[in-house]
Amino acid sequence: MKVNFEGSLEEFTAVFRGLALEFELQDDENMVEEELSYDSAPPLRHPTRPPAFVQDKPEGVPMGDKEAIPFPQNKPFGGNMKSLTAKERTGCVEASTYFFQEWVKGLGSPNEEQPNRVELIETMGSGQWTVPFLVLCYEYGSLQKFCGVCLKDTHREKHESSEAWWNWIDSVACNIVQVSVAGFPDVQGTYDYSTRWKREALGEAL
């Protein structure tokens, strides 16, 4: 390859040094990404939902001896996003519950058998439940709230207090956002970095 450069030696040296610095910074960023642990490192900062998406939601409707999943009232993207049918909503909740339950297996316990979380996120990010999953995350207010809804029946009793429960849910959602870069980057925008969602979940004054 032959490169022609017009200018003085000083100008050439300045350009060369600038390019060398840029490549060095890119190598450093790649190195940081490779060294991150999916089980321990926090997710990268991403834009969160507009404040208008954070709204109060009604309590669940009794259904036999179990409580039905609360019907969310938030309207993502100003109401312009696809509305889910009852069948789509039920199917997505079932698929999402399986997704979350598989995800938490061995999470935080490196000596236990671990699921293929990259495969899980790629499947959720490129299948029939991709858009419905995002819709429900926004409607419930955040990835954390939807995750809590789906895992409540199977994991809530393992935590001594509501605060411990929601802290654990937050760590699960945090891990999902971190791994999502592998195949479902859109989910990053559903993670709520504020404390409002947790105070809302704990029934504290906002």
Mean pLDDT of 114-123: 95
Asked if residue 150 lies in contact with residue 190, where contact means CB atoms within 8 angstroms, the answer is no
Q: Which residues pair with 67 in a beta bridge?
A: 62
pLDDT (0 to 100) of residue 189: 93
52: pLDDT confidence band, cut at 50, 70 and 90?
very low
- CB environment 62-94: b (16+ within 10 A), e (fewer): eeeeeeebeebebbbeeeeeeebeeebbeebbe
pLDDT for residue 186 is more than 80: yes
Question: Average pLDDT of the chain?
Answer: 75
Domain limits, the chain? 1-36, 70-201
